Structure 1
């Protein structure tokens, strides 16, 4: 479903390229205090990635799992490769990896998400990152967030999410602590006020 919503869309929906910021009353634990970058939104549904949820696995472990390196090579990896950010992108297909990245890298399987950001979900980008030929800005996400037709619109109408234009800097910001608050700040919203006002709309 995920990539088909991206590749089959005829036109961009109004939430394309937006952040979704979970309201304090969010009932779904998968999305509590999350910031989601919406990659595709249309009448067919929506898909995006949580950009502030850590993932307890390292890029080195992924390279070992994919058999792109062996243990002796893994020990010798430069720190920038070992520290490549891995996030929990959402509750759907959590065993599948996606790389959001700047558009200075492209392969046959890369899909433009916005004017400056692309998505690649194939091994070629993992190899490119490992070999130092990857994009200048990127993050890997395991899993994604998906909504069926009309589902996300209904959640927004029920006061589940705030939305605002996405910030590329925030997408690739590796300081996950406080990213939720920084996303709210893009809208001029202070989290403590939001907490007090939640449920009174």
Structure 2
């Protein structure tokens, strides 16, 4: 199975084009005002039409209400919803029933005990994203540039597709893939020159590094 590369937190035409031309499988757009990567619905409409048919469009939300989902879906036309908050399994079921879109649930990880809720989420979600647990005083749950101990996932027995994120960049993505055996990697802060500002060459370098690792592991 080929490795999926997701470039998240895109907010400009230039960086979206770099990600698409570089071969990103998924492109993520953030709808969460506290994040420096948050985009307006107007920008989402423009970027969404630009990405249509070229990559899987993922809308990232944090404990969003139904009205927020309706607005995002109407403007971005996402292929998948990424739930990055404290959404319960019941809330996932509700969202799936109401909007009929595939769901990717982000789970914060620090220790093996953080995987206790995984079976419940795996019964509803279409994909799991393992991300580093944010510090208690953090204002947002992800995009903080900190990795977690990938060895927590080393012996993971999960039939559902999963990805890893949190502190990834071109220099460590190979090790993350090797340890976790994840089917996908997700990067945001690791391809930025400053919070929220994507760097085109860093995007290209990350995708190249991920693809090179995929080729090595396929041999």
Instruction: Compute the TM-score of the two structures, normalised by the length of structure 1.
Output: 0.30
The normalised TM-score by structure 2 is 0.28
Structure 1 or 2: more strand by fraction: 1
- Larger gyration radius, structure 1 or structure 2: 1
Higher relative contact order (Cα pairs below 8 Å, separated by 6+ residues): 1
Question: Which one has the bigger helix percentage?
Answer: 2
